[in-house]
Chain A
Amino acid sequence: MKGSLIILSFFATGLLLGIFRLFPADILHYNTSFYVLCALMFSVGISIGNDPNSFRQFRSLNPRLIFLPLMTILGTWLGVIAVGFFLNDRSLADCLAVGSGFGYYSLSSILITQYKGVELGTIALLSNIMREVITLLFAPWMLKYFGKLAPISAGGATTMDTTFPVIVRNSGKEFAVVSIYQGFVMDFSVPFLVTFFCSLK
Protein backbone atom coordinates (compact mmCIF):
# COMPACT_ATOMS: atom_id res chain seq x y z
CA MET A 1 0.00 0.00 0.00
CA LYS A 2 2.91 2.32 0.72
CA GLY A 3 4.09 1.94 -2.86
CA SER A 4 0.61 2.83 -4.17
CA LEU A 5 0.45 5.96 -2.03
CA ILE A 6 3.80 7.09 -3.36
CA ILE A 7 2.56 6.57 -6.92
CA LEU A 8 -0.66 8.46 -6.12
CA SER A 9 1.27 11.35 -4.59
CA PHE A 10 3.31 11.66 -7.78
CA PHE A 11 0.09 11.77 -9.82
CA ALA A 12 -1.49 14.31 -7.42
CA THR A 13 1.60 16.50 -7.49
CA GLY A 14 1.55 16.48 -11.29
CA LEU A 15 -2.17 17.29 -11.26
CA LEU A 16 -1.71 20.32 -9.00
CA LEU A 17 1.32 21.60 -10.87
CA GLY A 18 -0.65 21.18 -14.10
CA ILE A 19 -3.68 23.08 -12.80
CA PHE A 20 -1.58 25.98 -11.52
CA ARG A 21 0.77 25.93 -14.52
CA LEU A 22 3.80 25.54 -12.32
CA PHE A 23 5.87 23.72 -14.91
CA PRO A 24 7.79 24.57 -18.07
CA ALA A 25 5.17 24.49 -20.85
CA ASP A 26 7.58 22.65 -23.13
CA ILE A 27 7.33 19.42 -21.16
CA LEU A 28 4.00 18.43 -22.70
CA HIS A 29 4.80 19.71 -26.18
CA TYR A 30 7.77 17.46 -26.66
CA ASN A 31 5.94 14.20 -25.93
CA THR A 32 8.03 13.81 -22.81
CA SER A 33 5.84 11.04 -21.45
CA PHE A 34 6.30 9.05 -24.64
CA TYR A 35 10.08 9.11 -24.28
CA VAL A 36 9.83 8.23 -20.60
CA LEU A 37 7.57 5.35 -21.59
CA CYS A 38 10.18 4.16 -24.10
CA ALA A 39 12.87 4.35 -21.42
CA LEU A 40 10.61 2.45 -19.07
CA MET A 41 9.93 -0.28 -21.65
CA PHE A 42 13.63 -0.54 -22.38
CA SER A 43 14.31 -1.03 -18.66
CA VAL A 44 11.56 -3.62 -18.36
CA GLY A 45 13.05 -5.38 -21.38
CA ILE A 46 16.44 -5.46 -19.67
CA SER A 47 14.92 -6.95 -16.52
CA ILE A 48 13.26 -9.68 -18.62
CA GLY A 49 16.29 -10.40 -20.79
CA ASN A 50 18.62 -10.29 -17.80
CA ASP A 51 16.74 -13.08 -16.05
CA PRO A 52 17.45 -16.44 -17.73
CA ASN A 53 14.28 -17.90 -16.16
CA SER A 54 11.85 -15.58 -18.00
CA PHE A 55 12.10 -17.36 -21.32
CA ARG A 56 11.67 -20.82 -19.86
CA GLN A 57 8.54 -19.72 -17.99
CA PHE A 58 6.85 -18.43 -21.16
CA ARG A 59 6.58 -21.92 -22.60
CA SER A 60 4.73 -23.30 -19.60
CA LEU A 61 1.77 -20.93 -20.01
CA ASN A 62 -1.67 -22.45 -20.33
CA PRO A 63 -3.22 -22.11 -23.83
CA ARG A 64 -6.55 -21.26 -22.21
CA LEU A 65 -5.11 -17.84 -21.42
CA ILE A 66 -5.87 -17.00 -25.07
CA PHE A 67 -9.38 -16.29 -23.79
CA LEU A 68 -8.25 -13.62 -21.33
CA PRO A 69 -8.99 -10.61 -23.62
CA LEU A 70 -12.48 -12.02 -24.25
CA MET A 71 -13.06 -12.30 -20.50
CA THR A 72 -11.80 -8.74 -20.08
CA ILE A 73 -14.21 -7.44 -22.71
CA LEU A 74 -17.26 -9.33 -21.43
CA GLY A 75 -16.50 -8.56 -17.77
CA THR A 76 -16.05 -4.88 -18.51
CA TRP A 77 -19.32 -4.69 -20.41
CA LEU A 78 -21.28 -6.41 -17.62
CA GLY A 79 -19.74 -4.12 -14.99
CA VAL A 80 -20.41 -1.00 -17.07
CA ILE A 81 -24.02 -2.07 -17.77
CA ALA A 82 -24.57 -2.56 -14.03
CA VAL A 83 -23.30 0.96 -13.35
CA GLY A 84 -25.23 2.32 -16.36
CA PHE A 85 -28.56 1.53 -14.69
CA PHE A 86 -27.74 4.15 -12.06
CA LEU A 87 -26.65 6.86 -14.51
CA ASN A 88 -29.90 8.41 -15.70
CA ASP A 89 -28.21 10.93 -17.99
CA ARG A 90 -26.38 8.27 -19.99
CA SER A 91 -27.75 5.59 -22.29
CA LEU A 92 -26.39 2.07 -22.00
CA ALA A 93 -24.75 2.51 -25.42
CA ASP A 94 -22.95 5.62 -24.11
CA CYS A 95 -21.75 3.72 -21.06
CA LEU A 96 -20.60 0.78 -23.18
CA ALA A 97 -18.72 3.14 -25.51
CA VAL A 98 -16.87 4.66 -22.54
CA GLY A 99 -16.19 1.21 -21.07
CA SER A 100 -14.89 -0.06 -24.41
CA GLY A 101 -11.93 2.29 -24.10
CA PHE A 102 -10.48 -0.35 -21.73
CA GLY A 103 -8.06 2.25 -20.36
CA TYR A 104 -6.95 3.41 -23.81
CA TYR A 105 -7.98 6.96 -22.93
CA SER A 106 -6.26 8.88 -25.73
CA LEU A 107 -7.87 7.03 -28.62
CA SER A 108 -11.25 6.30 -27.04
CA SER A 109 -11.80 9.89 -25.89
CA ILE A 110 -10.88 11.24 -29.34
CA LEU A 111 -13.27 8.84 -31.05
CA ILE A 112 -16.09 9.42 -28.59
CA THR A 113 -15.67 13.21 -28.72
CA GLN A 114 -15.98 12.97 -32.48
CA TYR A 115 -19.07 10.76 -32.49
CA LYS A 116 -20.86 11.86 -29.32
CA GLY A 117 -19.51 15.28 -28.32
CA VAL A 118 -17.12 16.76 -25.78
CA GLU A 119 -19.11 15.81 -22.70
CA LEU A 120 -19.05 12.05 -23.22
CA GLY A 121 -15.55 12.43 -24.62
CA THR A 122 -14.42 13.99 -21.36
CA ILE A 123 -16.09 11.22 -19.38
CA ALA A 124 -14.29 8.70 -21.59
CA LEU A 125 -10.97 10.43 -20.98
CA LEU A 126 -11.43 10.60 -17.20
CA SER A 127 -12.94 7.14 -16.87
CA ASN A 128 -10.20 5.45 -18.85
CA ILE A 129 -7.43 7.36 -17.08
CA MET A 130 -9.05 6.26 -13.83
CA ARG A 131 -9.07 2.67 -15.00
CA GLU A 132 -5.36 2.90 -15.66
CA VAL A 133 -4.70 4.57 -12.30
CA ILE A 134 -6.92 2.04 -10.48
CA THR A 135 -4.91 -0.77 -12.08
CA LEU A 136 -1.59 0.85 -11.18
CA LEU A 137 -2.64 1.47 -7.59
CA PHE A 138 -4.61 -1.66 -6.77
CA ALA A 139 -2.73 -4.31 -8.73
CA PRO A 140 -1.38 -5.91 -5.51
CA TRP A 141 -4.88 -6.02 -4.02
CA MET A 142 -6.39 -7.55 -7.20
CA LEU A 143 -3.63 -10.13 -7.24
CA LYS A 144 -4.26 -11.08 -3.63
CA TYR A 145 -7.99 -11.68 -3.90
CA PHE A 146 -8.65 -12.47 -7.57
CA GLY A 147 -5.51 -14.19 -8.84
CA LYS A 148 -2.66 -13.29 -11.13
CA LEU A 149 -4.82 -12.59 -14.18
CA ALA A 150 -6.87 -9.89 -12.42
CA PRO A 151 -4.34 -7.02 -12.80
CA ILE A 152 -3.91 -7.91 -16.48
CA SER A 153 -7.66 -7.90 -17.08
CA ALA A 154 -8.06 -4.65 -15.15
CA GLY A 155 -5.32 -3.07 -17.23
CA GLY A 156 -7.40 -3.66 -20.37
CA ALA A 157 -5.71 -2.17 -23.44
CA THR A 158 -2.83 -0.66 -21.46
CA THR A 159 -1.20 -3.94 -20.50
CA MET A 160 1.54 -3.79 -23.08
CA ASP A 161 2.58 -0.23 -22.31
CA THR A 162 1.73 1.86 -19.25
CA THR A 163 0.49 -0.82 -16.85
CA PHE A 164 2.85 -3.49 -18.18
CA PRO A 165 5.68 -2.80 -15.71
CA VAL A 166 3.30 -2.90 -12.74
CA ILE A 167 1.78 -6.17 -13.95
CA VAL A 168 5.19 -7.76 -14.37
CA ARG A 169 6.20 -6.52 -10.93
CA ASN A 170 3.08 -8.01 -9.34
CA SER A 171 1.96 -11.06 -11.32
CA GLY A 172 5.52 -12.05 -12.26
CA LYS A 173 7.66 -12.12 -15.37
CA GLU A 174 6.03 -15.34 -16.58
CA PHE A 175 2.89 -13.28 -17.24
CA ALA A 176 4.68 -10.74 -19.45
CA VAL A 177 3.67 -12.54 -22.65
CA VAL A 178 0.01 -12.81 -21.60
CA SER A 179 0.08 -9.13 -20.71
CA ILE A 180 1.49 -8.11 -24.09
CA TYR A 181 -0.86 -10.46 -25.93
CA GLN A 182 -3.88 -8.99 -24.15
CA GLY A 183 -2.70 -5.39 -24.75
CA PHE A 184 -2.19 -6.16 -28.42
CA VAL A 185 -5.64 -7.71 -28.91
CA MET A 186 -7.38 -4.98 -26.92
CA ASP A 187 -5.59 -2.13 -28.71
CA PHE A 188 -7.00 -3.39 -31.97
CA SER A 189 -10.47 -3.96 -30.50
CA VAL A 190 -10.91 -0.49 -28.99
CA PRO A 191 -11.49 1.52 -32.22
CA PHE A 192 -14.00 -1.04 -33.54
CA LEU A 193 -15.94 -1.51 -30.29
CA VAL A 194 -16.06 2.21 -29.42
CA THR A 195 -17.26 3.08 -32.92
CA PHE A 196 -19.87 0.32 -32.76
CA PHE A 197 -21.40 1.54 -29.48
CA CYS A 198 -21.31 5.16 -30.64
CA SER A 199 -23.28 4.17 -33.74
CA LEU A 200 -26.14 2.79 -31.60
CA LYS A 201 -28.32 5.89 -31.35
Chain B
Amino acid sequence: MFIVIGCMLAGIIVGYFFRQRKIRSIHKIILALIWLLLFLLGLEVGANETVVSQFAKLGFEAFLLAVGGTFGSIIAAWLLWLSVRNKSISK
Protein backbone atom coordinates (compact mmCIF):
# COMPACT_ATOMS: atom_id res chain seq x y z
CA MET B 1 0.00 0.00 0.00
CA PHE B 2 2.72 2.47 0.95
CA ILE B 3 4.90 1.31 -1.95
CA VAL B 4 2.08 2.16 -4.35
CA ILE B 5 1.70 5.63 -2.84
CA GLY B 6 5.50 5.97 -2.93
CA CYS B 7 5.45 5.29 -6.68
CA MET B 8 3.02 8.11 -7.18
CA LEU B 9 5.02 10.52 -5.03
CA ALA B 10 8.13 9.61 -7.05
CA GLY B 11 6.14 10.29 -10.22
CA ILE B 12 5.00 13.67 -8.91
CA ILE B 13 8.62 14.63 -8.20
CA VAL B 14 9.76 13.46 -11.65
CA GLY B 15 6.84 15.21 -13.34
CA TYR B 16 7.55 18.38 -11.36
CA PHE B 17 11.18 18.43 -12.49
CA PHE B 18 10.13 18.14 -16.13
CA ARG B 19 7.28 20.63 -15.93
CA GLN B 20 9.01 23.03 -18.33
CA ARG B 21 8.68 20.33 -20.95
CA LYS B 22 5.10 19.01 -21.15
CA ILE B 23 4.96 15.20 -21.17
CA ARG B 24 1.93 14.81 -23.45
CA SER B 25 2.09 11.07 -24.00
CA ILE B 26 1.56 10.35 -20.27
CA HIS B 27 -2.25 10.20 -20.59
CA LYS B 28 -2.01 7.55 -23.31
CA ILE B 29 0.37 5.55 -21.13
CA ILE B 30 -2.05 5.82 -18.19
CA LEU B 31 -4.91 4.51 -20.33
CA ALA B 32 -2.82 1.60 -21.64
CA LEU B 33 -1.83 0.65 -18.08
CA ILE B 34 -5.49 0.75 -16.96
CA TRP B 35 -6.31 -1.66 -19.80
CA LEU B 36 -3.48 -3.98 -18.81
CA LEU B 37 -4.54 -3.91 -15.14
CA LEU B 38 -8.13 -4.80 -16.01
CA PHE B 39 -6.90 -7.61 -18.23
CA LEU B 40 -4.82 -8.98 -15.35
CA LEU B 41 -7.78 -8.65 -12.98
CA GLY B 42 -9.85 -10.76 -15.40
CA LEU B 43 -7.02 -13.27 -15.66
CA GLU B 44 -6.84 -13.57 -11.88
CA VAL B 45 -10.58 -14.15 -11.52
CA GLY B 46 -10.70 -16.59 -14.45
CA ALA B 47 -7.78 -18.64 -13.15
CA ASN B 48 -9.41 -19.08 -9.72
CA GLU B 49 -11.35 -22.36 -10.06
CA THR B 50 -13.35 -21.94 -6.84
CA VAL B 51 -14.67 -18.62 -7.99
CA VAL B 52 -15.38 -19.78 -11.56
CA SER B 53 -17.30 -22.93 -10.55
CA GLN B 54 -19.58 -20.96 -8.21
CA PHE B 55 -19.71 -17.90 -10.38
CA ALA B 56 -23.33 -18.23 -11.49
CA LYS B 57 -24.67 -19.22 -8.08
CA LEU B 58 -22.96 -16.56 -6.01
CA GLY B 59 -22.39 -14.02 -8.72
CA PHE B 60 -25.95 -12.78 -8.79
CA GLU B 61 -26.07 -12.11 -5.04
CA ALA B 62 -22.68 -10.44 -5.26
CA PHE B 63 -23.92 -8.32 -8.14
CA LEU B 64 -26.98 -7.12 -6.23
CA LEU B 65 -24.86 -6.23 -3.19
CA ALA B 66 -22.32 -4.43 -5.35
CA VAL B 67 -24.99 -2.38 -7.12
CA GLY B 68 -26.83 -1.63 -3.87
CA GLY B 69 -23.69 -0.54 -2.03
CA THR B 70 -22.30 1.47 -4.92
CA PHE B 71 -25.59 3.20 -5.65
CA GLY B 72 -26.17 4.02 -1.98
CA SER B 73 -22.76 5.61 -1.70
CA ILE B 74 -23.28 7.58 -4.92
CA ILE B 75 -26.51 9.05 -3.54
CA ALA B 76 -24.75 9.93 -0.26
CA ALA B 77 -21.89 11.55 -2.19
CA TRP B 78 -24.41 13.44 -4.29
CA LEU B 79 -25.99 14.95 -1.15
CA LEU B 80 -22.55 16.07 0.04
CA TRP B 81 -21.76 17.39 -3.44
CA LEU B 82 -24.95 19.50 -3.48
CA SER B 83 -23.92 21.07 -0.19
CA VAL B 84 -20.36 21.94 -1.21
CA ARG B 85 -20.36 22.54 -4.97
CA ASN B 86 -21.40 26.18 -4.76
CA LYS B 87 -18.83 26.92 -2.07
CA SER B 88 -15.10 27.06 -2.55
CA ILE B 89 -14.36 24.37 -5.13
CA SER B 90 -12.88 26.59 -7.78
CA LYS B 91 -12.51 25.52 -11.37
- A residues sitting closer than 8 Å to B (CB atoms) are 3, 6-8, 10-21, 23, 27-28, 32-33, 36-52, 57, 60-62, 64-65, 67-68, 71-80, 82-84, 86-87, 89-90, 95, 98-99, 102, 118-119, 122-136, 142, 146-150, 152-154, 156, 160-162, 165-166, 169, 174, 180, 187
Supplied contacts A36-B33, A87-B61, 4 more A-B pairs, CB within 8 Å: A11-B41, A15-B45, A153-B74, A153-B77
A95 to B61, CA, bound (A): 10
Shortest beta-carbon distance, B54 to chain A, in Å? 6
Residues of A within 8 A of B26 (CB): 43, 46-47, 50
CB pair B8–A45 under 8 Å, yes or no, is: yes
CB pair A147–B45 under 8 Å, yes or no, is: no
A161 to B6, CA, bound (A): 11
CB pair B52–A150 under 8 Å, yes or no, is: no
- A82, A83, A129, A165: most-surrounded residue (chain B CB, <10 A): A83
Cβ-neighbour of B45 out of A18, A67, A82 (below 8 A):
A18
CB pair A146–B30 under 8 Å, yes or no, is: no
- The A interface is mostly helix, strand or loop, or mixed, namely helix
A165 to B29, CA, bound (A): 11
